[in-house]
Amino acid sequence: RSSNPMFLTAAELATLTGYRQKGRQLARLRQMGIPFWTNAAGQPVVARAAIEGRKAPARQSPEWAQHCSASGY
């Protein structure tokens, strides 16, 4: 198991895509239909949950947004 349980490591990403170059990794992830984000360096970031078949934790709305929708704003 990796030291970062939330995201794939660079080595795992290279194994998954078959590429080490970020541009090729991005293209391959799109072809495979695997959801990812790009970080500030333009490198793909893949949540481990996307590969393991688990649902990623749901994002919760900020508390202020919940208050606005409850009050009709």
Cα-based torsion angle of the residue sequence 3, 13, 42, 38 in order, rounded to the nearest 10 degrees? -80
pLDDT of residue 9: 95
pLDDT of residue 53: 80
pLDDT digits 0-9 by tens, 24-72? 999 999 999 999 999 999 999 999 999 988 665 555 555 655 555 555 5
pLDDT of residue 52: 87
pLDDT of residue 5: 86
47 forms beta bridges with: 7
Residue 22 contacts residue 44 (beta carbons within 8 Å): yes
